[in-house]
Amino acid sequence: MEVRFIKPEEAADFLKISAASFIWKFDKEIDNKLEMPVLGAFNNGKLIAGAEIYNYKCNYCGNFVNTVVLDGICSQPEYRRMGGVRAIFDDVGKTAIQNDITIGFLSPFSISYYEKFGFANLNRSFSIKVPFNNLSNFERSNDVELYTGEQFNELCELYNKCTKKENLMMIRESKSYFCDKPFENTDYTYIHRNKSGEADGYVRFKVNRPEELVAEELFVLTPDALRGIIGFLRSYDGIVKTLVVKKQYPGSPFACIADRIDNTNYEYTGGIAARIYNLKKLLESNVYPKEYGKFSILSLDELNENKGIFDVEYKNGKASVTKRNSGDYDISLSPTAAARLLLAGEGHTKETAIFIDGVELKNNADDFFRAFPHRATHFIEYIC
């Protein structure tokens, strides 16, 4: 099985596989180009599987690490179970270290399927629905400005400030992430400004009359910005019944206030799956407690760089990380368990971690759990 990035002239072959896998209509006059790199698996020279590859930088405890997102993973139906997709994942895993990739992400159609490749489902998100009639406690506000593209640098800077507050959020540098033609696309972004005129929050939404105003993104730096944006959105309460805020998580700013609003409805919308490709670098990027602590992890990963025992000794927020092949350890983790405990920000204790498949506690691991407390964690980016 050969794995390599496909050539421009092979784009139509991949798009046909995608069409057959996901059942969409292929138009040979239109669907013959790719705008992203595609890693393909070839059997005797024939393309049988592929995955779109996107590279980002995401926040992990204030350190921005290189990540890879795999999307559009597909295989030709008649060639399934021949190892094409596995060959692609094996190649990504083998080259991750040399490409300085620390974490991988994908959107799982099946949790159990992608667990075979070391990906664990995390960042479970939900939509929050609130009747506009129940938002009367929020004073109406007009301290906002419609985004038209001219404020891109300011909006991008604001978003990236929010990125630093939540693990796994991605840096944005492209205008394509924000809609600068609101009237043409009925896709509106409003920037909130504080009393000094500084941008401290924004909301991006569409209006589906007469039922819902749907906020796809809502990011704020301060409580005043959150209340100001909600106060502004109330200006639509005469034409729609419900405010819907998507991509929320427990502890997000809007979730914190929604818990006190009557008739609030929470709708689970799935999650993202993640895998650690460079365990040593991730451990080094973590922010540790000020007090001294140490622990050792037996990593049961199949990737050579992640396989073995990692000794971590920390103090004053930083740690030294070394690796050895054998000996005693405090906790053993499968790749999926490592993703759950180190990336998800769930703040597990030894009492709760024992119920996670792939976790084995051997010695006292209190210093380990103290090093990975509950943290705001929100993977929002997917495709540019």
Q: What's the pLDDT band for 382 if we cut at 50, 70, 90?
A: low
* Structural domain harbouring 242: 126-268
Inform me whether the pLDDT recorded for 383 exceeds 70. Answer: no
Per-residue pLDDT tens digits for 229-246? 999 999 999 999 999 999
Q: Are residues 138 and 76 in the same domain?
A: no
| Residue-level pLDDT at 268 | 87
Does residue 185 sit within a domain?
yes
Whether residue 69 is found in the same domain as residue 200: no
Residues 182, 203, single domain; the answer is yes
**Nearest of 164, 225, 220, 215 to residue 375 by alpha carbon:** 164
Is residue 264 domain-shared with residue 298, that is, in the same domain?
Answer: no
Q: How far apart are CA 14 and CA 40, in angstroms?
A: 8
> 158 lies in a domain?
yes
Confidence check: pLDDT of 284 > 80? yes
Residue 64 lies in a domain: yes
Residues with Cβ within 8 Å of 50's Cβ and at least 6 positions away in sequence, in order, are: 6, 14, 17, 18, 38, 39, 40, 41, 72, 73, 74, 75, 88
**Is residue 58 over pLDDT 90?**
yes
Confidence of residue 350 (pLDDT cuts 50, 70, 90): very high
Could you say which of 217, 238, 268 is where a domain stops? 268
User: What is the reported pLDDT for 384?
Assistant: 41
Chain segment 23-37, per-residue pLDDT in tens: 888 777 667 777 789
DSSP assignments along 359-372, one per residue: EEE-S--HHHHHHS
Q: How many domains does the chain have?
A: 3
Residue 96 placed within a domain: yes
Q: Are residues 316 and 240 in the same domain?
A: no
Q: What is the pLDDT confidence band of residue 381, given thresholds at 50, 70 and 90? A: low
For residues 295 and 253, membership in a common domain is answered with no
Residues 151, 248 share a domain:
yes
The pLDDT of 196-225, averaged and rounded, is 96
Residue 377 lies in a domain: no
Rounded average pLDDT over 110-125: 90
d(CA 60, CA 187): 30
For residue 259, pLDDT beyond 90: no
> Quick check: 300 pLDDT over 90?
yes
